[in-house]
Structures are given as C-alpha cells and as structure tokens.
Amino acid sequence: MAMERTIIILKPDAVTRQVCGEIIARFEKRGLKIAGLKMLKLTDETLNIHYAHHVTKPFFPRLSKFMKSAPVIAVVLEGNDSVNQVRKMCGATYPLEAAVGTIRGDYGMSMNNLIHASDSTEAAEAEIKRFFKPEELFNYTAANYEWVYAEEERKA
C-alpha cells in the first residue's frame, strides 16, 4: 500500500454545526496524519474548477450556493491507502443512504453531506495543489507511527 496524501473539505454545514473537531478526530484516531490544515471561504472561481464535472447539472447552483454559505476547513491527510480509506470513512454521497458508522451516515440527514474527499489519487494531487502551497504542507513523524503500521508496512 502506498503512503499517500488526500484532501478533505469540511463543508459549511460541518463548520456551522461545530462538528469539525469530532470529524477530524475520527481520522486522527484511525492513524491518519494531518499534513496541512486551513480555513477558507470558497469562491465561484474555485468551485467551478473543483466541481467542474457537475457545473452543468441541475443541482449545481444549489451546491455552489451551499459551499459559499459559510467558511470551510480543508485538511490534507496522510497515510497508507489514504484516498480510498478516507472515502470509505465519509460514506455514500447521500447521507440517508450512507452506512451508519460513516461520517455522512452518522451526522447527515440531507444532501448537506458535511465533507468532501478526493475520489482518486490523481484528484487528490490536483486538489491538494488547488488549496495548499507547498510550504503549507508539513513532513514529520507521528509519535504513534510504529504502532499504527506493522513493520513491513512502514516506509523507512
């Protein structure tokens, strides 16, 4: 499994409902490491790129309005197979269909689905560049690293 980075965006509903700490804690407890973190207000310019594949969909105006309705918190998470594992922890797009135990399944009741996560390693790379400058990302060793990963799964 490759050690890789992914990005999550805690959406305006997560920020205004004050559950960002709890959500970030789930990833930390799993063993994922925070490599970067910032709060920002999304703009049309960024959203049109970030959701380029949805711009022509009927729900895009609502999605865009929602994503600009309050600040968001972007977090880069690092770990083995992180893109895939973080998506699984988020759950299905529509919270009423998301499994209990996932973030959307535990916190959501509508298409306000709390969190975005990159859906491929290519998307993760592009999205991390979109939201973070190289100097805003950090390399360090987590104190629990040797316990989170079995010996043969450690990188160095």
- Considering only residues 1 through 20, tell me which ones interact with ligand ATP, judged by CB under 6 A: none
Site string for ligand ATP, 92-111 (x = CB under 6 A): -x-----------------x
Q: Does 122 bind ligand ATP (CB under 6 A)?
A: no
Site string for ligand ATP, 56-75 (x = CB under 6 A): ---x---x------------
Beta-sheet pairing, 72-80 with 3-10: antiparallel
Question: Is there a catalytic annotation at residue 53?
Answer: no
Which residue lies nearer to ligand ATP by CB, 129 or 154?
129
Region near ligand ATP per CB under 6 A, out of 17-25, 26-34, 41-49, 112-120 = 112-120
Amino acid symbol at 63:
L
| Rounded Cα–Cα distance for residues 37 and 80 (Å) | 19
- Considering only residues 127 through 146, tell me which ones interact with ligand ATP, judged by CB under 6 A: none
Which residue lies nearer to ligand ATP by CB, 60 or 149?
60
Amino acid symbol at 14:
A
Contacts 24+ apart (CB under 8 A), 140-147: 140/33, 142/31, 142/33, 144/31
Measured from the CB of residue 23, what is the shortest distance to ligand ATP in angstroms?
13
Residue that is written with structure tokens 């629990």 in the block = 144
Residue 37: C-alpha distances to residues 93, 109, 133, 153 (Å): 23, 26, 11, 26
| Rounded Cα–Cα distance for residues 57 and 60 (Å) | 5
Residues near ligand ATP (CB under 6 A): 54, 59, 63, 93, 111, 113, 116-117, 119
Q: Which residues are catalytic, by number?
A: 116
